Structures are given as C-alpha cells and as structure tokens.
Amino acid sequence: MSSFNPIGTWTLFQRESRRFLRVKMQTIVAPALTAILYLIVFRYAMGERQVPGLDVDYFSFLIPGLMMMAMLQNAFANTSSSMIVGKIMNVHVFLLMSPISAGEAVFAFLAAAVLRALVVGSVLLLVLLPFSELTLTHVWMILFYGICGSLIMGSLGLIGGMWSKTFDDMAMVNNFIIMPLTFLSGVFYSVTQLPPFWQAINAWNPFFYLIDGFRHGFIATGDSDPLQAMGAVAALTVLAVLSSWYLWRIGWKLKE
C-alpha cells in the first residue's frame, strides 16, 4: 500500500496493547514480583558488599540490571507470543490481508512492545525506588537504552515468531538464545569478575551494552563506556527493525 493508514495502525496497536493489559497479573505484576524476589534473595545473600571495581553497593547495582532484564524479556514476549498464537490459530493470514502496509504493522507491534517494556520498568522502579538510594542521574541515557533495547527485543520477537511453528520452537529461541545472553550480560555481577575468555565473549554480547548503558543512567558507572556504545546500539536497533520489516513485507514463514 502506498498511502498511510492511521486507523488500521492504531487499531493494531490497541489490540497488541490491550492483549497484555487485560492479563496484568501475568504480564506486569508477575515480572515485578520475580524481580523483587531476586532482590530479596541477593540482598540478604550479598549484604552490604560493594561491587568489585565500581565503588557502588550491590543493591544499587542490581536494581537497574533487573529492570532492564524484565523490560527486554517483556518486549520479546509481547511480539513473539502474538505471532506464534496467531500462526497456531491460523488468524495471522487476516492480518496479512488487512489494508495496512508492512511498515505500519511492524510499527504497531513494536510500539506495543515498547509500551509493555516501559510499563513493566516503571512499575519496578516505583516499587523498588523507596528501598534504595538510586537516582535518575542521566534520564536521557535510561530512555535511550531502554527504548532501543525494547525495539531490538520486539523485533527479535517478531522474527522469532515468524520462524517458529510451535510453542516449543519459541521456547527454544528463548531458552537457548535470549536467556543465556541476558544472564551473561552482567545483570547480577560486574563482567570484570569473569575469566578473560568469557569477558572476550561478552564483548560481542549486545545485551551487555544495553544493560550496562541503562545501569549507567542510574549510578553513573559501569563496565563499559556507554557513550561509545551508543552508536553500535543505535545501528543494531535500526538493523533489527529493518530486518523485521523486510521479513514481514516478503511474508517470510507466514504464507506456508
């Protein structure tokens, strides 16, 4: 289609947004509760220890990492679950036949994924901020890495949903790609504590730069230079979004 369809785009965005808002206990409350349980366990396990080499207490170090991890996982879940459910129920064909372009469809999906990630992150922040000494040191950096990370994961969720034929396929992507990269990215520890081999591996892990840059926005310190990483993160965001748009436009794995 050559003309912009704002009504169709808005309708799809509303559908994707209402889909997670209607099950708030599962999509918002559950991630917040999981993060709080992580904090309670690590709080009592680590006590008042400082993070080696960063001169910051472990509790303040952990909160931004858990927030970003929850945001990334929820952005991925929002698009991937919508795609796989649509394919299994064979209703995605109606979306392909609808009078909206590939760009409009991807925009609506990703906007809803970013919204879900921001809602989950905001809830976590509101719950945990009173119990910590965190400050919003660089709000623009928090927003940049938070939104870019949500767009990347939302795009990966779309691509993963296009590729998957069953829930087992989707679980494989999540369990063997998303989760390992997330846990190796320094959510629970400084990557400088890793052996040199794993530090070298982590240098190619985009999740590391997303979480470290997001954390830097709160505590103004981290394991990398967030300003140097911004260009690579922005380029990866554009690549992920364009890839999901192109694959949607050609109907990759959607017309089988």
**Tens-digit pLDDT profile for residues 79-107:** 999 999 988 888 888 888 888 999 999 99
| Of the candidate ranges 24-38, 152-166, 172-186, 240-254, the one whose mean pLDDT is the lowest | 24-38
Is 83:91 a contact under the CB 8 Å cutoff? no
Which of 40-44's residues contact partners 24+ apart within 8 Å by CB, and which partners?
Answer: 42/188
Provide the whole-model pTM: 0.92
- 136/186 Cα distance (integer angstroms): 20
Please state, rounded to an integer, the average pLDDT across all residues of the chain: 89
Where does the pLDDT of residue 2 fall: very low under 50, low under 70, confident under 90, or very high at 90 and above? low
pLDDT computed for residue 236 by the predictor: 97
The set of residues, in sequence order, having a beta carbon less than 8 Å from that of 58 and lying 6+ positions away, is 42, 46, 48, 49, 50, 51
202 or 152: which carries more pLDDT confidence? 152
Contact 150, 72 (CB under 8 A): yes
φ, ψ for residue 66 (rounded to 5)?
-65, -40
Q: What is the mean pLDDT of residues 220-246?
A: 94
Question: What is the percent of the chain where pLDDT is above 70?
Answer: 98
Domain boundary assignment for the chain: 6-249
